[in-house]
Structure 1
Amino acid sequence: IVSERISFCLNILPLFFSFKESLKSLFLCASNSVNLFVFQWEIVQTVVNGSPLYTYSVCNVDSSDQDNWLRTTFIQRRSGASRVSVELQFVVRDCNTFGSSSVACKETFNLFLAEADADVGTNFRKGQFRKVATIAPDEITQGNVLKVNTETKTVGSLSKKGFYLAFQDMGACVALLSARVYYKTCPSTVQSLAVFPETVADSLREVEGVCVENAIGQATPRIYCSAEGDWVVPVGQCQCLPGYETTGDSCQECKPGYFKSSVSLASCQVCPRNTKPSSAGASECQCEDGFFRSPSDPPTSPSPPSAPRDLTATTLSGEGRLLLSWSPPLVTGHRPDLTYSVACSICDGTACSTCGERIRFETDPAELRETNIIVSDLDSHLNYTFTVEAHSGVSQFDPERASATVTAALDYTDPPKVTSIHLEKSGPTSLSLSWSLSRERDVTTYTVRILDKSFVQITDLTPDTPYIFKVQALSPEGTPGSFSTEHEFHTSPLAEPQIQNNSTAVLGAVVGVAVILLAVLAFVVLRRRLVTAHFTSTVNPLQAYVDPHTYEDPNIAIQKFVTEIDPNAIAKHKVIGVGEFGEVFRGVMKTQGRGEVTVAIKTLKPGYSEKQRQDFLSEASIMGQFSHPNIIHLEGVVTKFKHAMIVTEYMENGALDTYLKDHDGEMSPYQLLGMLRGIAAGMKYLSDMSYVHRDLAARNVLVNSNLECKVSDFGLSRVLEDDAEGTYTTRGGKIPIRWTAPEAIAYRKFTSASDVWSFGIVMWEVMAFGERPYWDMSNHEVMKAINEAFRLPAPMDCPSAIYQLMLQCWQQDRAIRPRFADIVNILDKLLRSPESLKTIADFDPRVSIRLPSTSGGDGTMFRSVTEWLESIKMSQYKESFARAGITTMEQVLALRHEDIRNIGVRLPGHMKRIAYSILGLKDESSSLSVFAV
């Protein structure tokens, strides 16, 4: 009962009686204004503890035709109270206790009501009253212990100014203990930032409210007051004005340094960067000098974008094609209108000019939304400079727009060009020719391998005959480079002795290298006047890998494969990690010709044994045999010094798995595919050298500033033995279960095919932005699942073609898995056809996120939003959710896509992870609501 209005009350003193006269000890407790009109109901006063008490009773059980009435005085009705409740407490005597004299005895009495607009005084007419109910006891008093009954009756549809109650006795032995008359109200309240007044409860009644101070609503807020005095079904919502935020049931102004720009339930936000601190109650923060906001901008976009980051150029298969890709600016102003423009210029060392129509952009370079573009029709003899600039709606206000530019220079777009041909020896029937490959420029992005055996001997020629030659180089995938210029050489006359001719013809300079030569296939074309003959010679530069452990003295392997570095040329600057044998430093190395070069320095911790030293240097003996742009490059070692060191090239972006986690959702599938292509090329190189890595994983792939991926960590690697199967059996070493092929786990045999399996896992890691393979499954669960044909599902937004390649890598039968050469070709085809990446593989969030989204690890409901965010690795947004007032899992279930953005989640990958997790939550809770993603 929320509120009561008591008109009168009757009470009875507990009594013990054995005959009807004792009922006269009943007493009355009432206000002075209330009188009861008594017809045969007797009033008896009894003094108890100095207080007078009154009772009302009637007990005419031995007489028939009883009609005894008790009436109240006039009870005024409050306006709006059309229903009242009457609660009675009474005692009824069992008629059987009166014997034969109780022939007309009854055990019930009646409740009547009469409405009136004025007090009629003592005027009483039974015809004015209508019967409300017959009052029957639940318990009848038989002995000396009183059985007190309580009965409540509701009287409705009252319309006049007041009413009377009356009690009719028809022959019962009854004592009226108390009567309470009241009505219910819904109390004044504040709900949804609206104030609702106290309201008399009747049938379900709609009540209009008023928004609290500093709040408005799109429509008048309403709520319903139920007949039981409860507020139910609020309709409409008031929201705080700009500059005010919700605090309990009121709207409080934003603190200094905070702002809120719109009418909403959101919390005030800290003034964004590059704005001046605001005063209390601010709806926006003014820009600092040098930062701008257009009239149509939200107040969270105070600055133009900064420069795009990580601009890289990647040569594509096909002559003269190049992929430019970059990362979004660090500062975007949180604007939806971010676009990019790409400009091209040709520089010759002294001046630059625009490329004009000499090149072709495959999409419009002026209003780009994507962070990549393909350029074609490039000339391999020219040096191009590409400039990418970010734009937004406030760029026009920024006089320093040039500061948002990143430039990348390309030195090569084709395989290296043959620069000169030499006549080594001539004879009557033969000519011996040699040629050189261009090494005029050293591109930071690539490493050029110059072949030692760049010559060919052509026999069965006609004596004393001129022949014209030109030479062309091919990449490992068969992409042709440019032909050299034509050169004419003579065979010697038959009668003349052979001569030596060292004349050299200098060919046109080649301006850059865009592919790495693993093998060079040279075509020599001869023309004798109008007759043309073709000769082909193949040169294979790859040597079989030599296991340094096969050397009786491991130092011999070090001397043979590794360059010794003067320790005075090495300077360690900063610890960047801890390796198996000691710390890893970033430092510099002084070199001849290149100056100071940034390097990574692996050190051997003090107190090492000789075996540990040999194991430490054996990795250098392995790395020293490799030369490929996608294999970590060994600069050399320091062994003739107290502390041994291994010096490698420095990879600015560190391990691939960590880099992907830090840039979740920031790269397109096309960019990720380019990274995978580099890893596959490096593994093809190792496979061609009969080398098995055994521990290929994203954590063992390093990324440089140009987003090139390079395979590293050869600590677990072993050489393939020369058996028919080409397998290697370990001696009980540790196996990385999540990345290892089933046959390698079961039989400890490793092949290039098992590396292919591992590459499939790396593909999954890359497309899942560093997600842990098989999530939180134990190694035992992983092995069991794989043997039962379970395979990792497609990551979010993974192109179907890439996922199908993963599944091919995970074939149970290793014989039908693709080779790395096949994988490189497949990835090249996908890179040449970006439209093939538009079809997305099916994605199941309940499997891929692996949450029972409504429960924790022990099967219980998530106890908090924080626990849920930690389970999906999004704990960095705990404060954002708290500021938005999202504190319960029920509120999380109610979120939609735009709500997630408003909370402050901006990265696409993070938005999708949270959105798909909520989708899993709703699915598991059997909700049928649609979640818009």
Structure 2
Amino acid sequence: MQRADRSVPQGSVFAPLTFCCFLLQWEVVQRTLNGSQLYTYSVCNVGEREQDNWLRTTFIQRQPAASRVFVELQFIVRDCTSFDGATLTCKETINLFVSEADADVGTTFRKGQFKKVATIAPDEITGKNELRINTETRVVDNLLRKGFYLAFQDNGACVALLSVRVYYKTCPATVQSLASFKETVAAGENKDLRKVIGECVDNAVSEEQPWIFCTVDGEWVVPVGQCQCKAGYEKVDNACKECPEGFFKPTASGDSCQPCPAYTQKQGTGAESCPCLEGFYRAQTDSEMDPCSGLPSAPRNLVASTTQLSAGKLLLSWSPPEDTGGRSDITYSVECQRCDGLVCQTCGEKIRYDPSSSGLTDTRVSVSELDAHLNYTFTVEAHSGVSAYAPQLPSTSALTTSLHYTEPPKITTMRLVERTPTSLSISWDVSPKARVQPRAFRYELMYRKNDANSDVTTYTVLILDKDSVQVSDLAPATAYMFRVQAVGIDGSHGSSMEEQFETSSEDSLTTNNTAVIFGAALGGAAMLFIVAVVLFLRRRSVTPPPHLYPLVFTEQLKPLKTYVDPHTYEDPNTAVMKFAAEIHPSHITKQKVIGAGEFGEVYRGILKAPGRKEVAVAVKTLKPGYSEKQRQDFLSEASIMGQFSHQNIIRLEGVVTKFKHAMIITEYMENGALDRFLRDHDGEFPSFQLVGMLRGIAAGMKYLSDMSYVHRDLAARNILVNNTMECKVSDFGLSRVLEDDPEGTYTTSGGKIPIRWTAPEAIAYRKFTSASDVWSFGIVMWEVMAFGERPYWDMSNKRGFRLPAPMDCPSAVYQLMLQCWLQDRSKRPKFGDIVPLLDKLLRSPDSLKTIADFDPRISIRLPSTSGSDGSPFRSVSEWLESIKMSQYSENFNRAGVVTMDQVMQMKNEDIKNIGVRLPGHLKRIAYSILGLKDQTSTLSPILIV
């Protein structure tokens, strides 16, 4: 046997093993083949029977990882037909055997130690005249010991063994994705792919360790993870090289080095960054790849403007900087100082900016709540993303300006001049400071009866040009409250004063007849004098002097609307001051968050005002970062609530507006929103108690309707309940006053409408009236009688359907719902009709005993045959969850009712016996079982006619 060739080409996957041979009954023969002398191991005893000739190799040491080796044989086999008379014993195959060992056993040979690997047959048979060499390769697998022997057995063939080559396969050393992998022995045939861990080449790193698989055939497959050149290095072939001079790379990545960007210092080789030149900067959000930028120059052309209609306000405007420093993220901030003589100080939190005092992207800002006759210095700074990193001061423009306008004077005293049974004459004084200023103001006088027992408070408003007035057509012996305040021509209001005066009784009329006659005569003379003066003035000029204002008492004495829309005020802050009391924040203690509104969180708190008993309140807050418009929208609800006084309307305690964090303070309603309260107490209240709650809601809505006021968002979620279960209307965010057109409608300017609660004409034409509130009240009635169920359930389109009567709903109550839902709004009842009707039902409890028809097949919340996906209920718990009775799942389990077939057999008595006691819950489960039994029923909607 020839020694295996050890000269293996570079990169070969063959690793040879060397050995010699141990001859047993074989001969060494020298032959000439193709002109070369070869030594072969031969045996050719074909004429003898029972041949058993063996040739064993010497001990072959195995590499520890090489559990699989390949044996390549080159041999010659004579054709058995070429031997005369020996065909019966001649064979043309040889056998390959293997035996493992941990040490060389020398010449010791035992056949039993060997295991057969394969029988090898030639592809080419050698005849008498020509030699044919065969090459065959066999695999010896699963080798475990330190070495092994190979043996070749002949059973009667004429064979010559020319060479034996033994080798194993390896995956060669390689570099892939900048990771180097060492030469690895291939795995065995039945073994998994061999995982090989690699290492990054010099100056390369990897987030995860790179590795690759070596196959049984000595091939690399499926590389995982890759190395990347470090910062300051880039990939060149299979290595990482330094960035050249003037180039940089900031991070470990597969990117190439880049030239240093603009306004940076060029570095030597291997640079990771290019620092900014002096006077240039990068923002925190900028990358090392971005150029450096300079600071913006100062804003230009800063000016301030104001008008008479905007007293107390300034509009600041400016032009952008001439040099932006090469950046587009320019913002502006405004600072204010006020100077009184030689003393200057910051303007403080009183000054308001719209939209803000900092972070401005527009080149203008509105400044309000400025005082008159003071010098203000405004400084506008230009900022960019790099301003925070610059050591020098920011670029600024400053402007000093003053406001000169006449503040409405303060009313100091009010006094009664004269009174009769039907009239009162009063006058008032203003602060001395106002007397030396121009008279650019009038007076607004409001008066009302001081009647605590009345549900409706009616104000009469007079606009006057002088500091006295006589009010007529009053009731005898009646107390009236008078409030007067000065109003500037720009709409600003001075502080007001309120006093009570009382008309005299009828008994005093007789004793004063003489005085009355004398007064009448004097008044007639005065009237003649006034007529003469007026005729004289009309001859001189048709237009009255600009400092006089016509007094039209005939029109002004007519009672105006009792509700004033705060959105009609030019300055919404004026409406807040007029209708809401200011509370100092030190009097309010916030305790815990109870909800969240559109503008911020809602807290339960305590109000302890001087001279008042401590009371629980709800505190609505305005979230930080608000704009001036958001603040005005937030406080507008207080301007609305402050005008209402009724036991079924949420009461406004006051507002906080003169401090940084604005708040609205209302009475605290312990039981929260009505819909949630009813869901939490489903089935616990009788119909009589529910109708009583509806009566309170209707009374509150009648009060609003009498004030010519439309709520627009009446729903159970906007009704609050206190600890005595008294209901109060709240949430006036969508509400608006009625216009003066004959139908009293209001057209919205856009926004979302609560569709499920809104009347058809309001949805179609965005027309809102008290009649549309009546429609919404009908939905609220259904919500209350259904214990907070969602109207129309999960129907995506409610148009064309009437809500069916809830379970146990009195017929009279459901009929009232249907009247509220009439298509013709003129035929719907008014709140003035609804309140006495509900009172009548409460006075006659027997009228509530007749129950409206209830069909569980119509009620979508009680599915008749299946779950929400249309398939039959798969379990009792799924069925109970669909009717919102899942709290009784354990009761059904304990009673052994675990299948829907068992549920179908239950009767009312069975439901009681498993622990369902509340009448409302008992009926809900019973009605649902009834619906389950009637599987042929279909939904029967009632169309709106």
Report which of the two structures shows the higher radius of gyration computed on alpha carbons. Answer: 2
Q: Tell me, yes or no, whether TM beats 0.5.
A: no
TM-score between the two structures when normalised by the length of structure 2 = 0.42
So what's the TM-score if we normalise by structure 1? 0.43
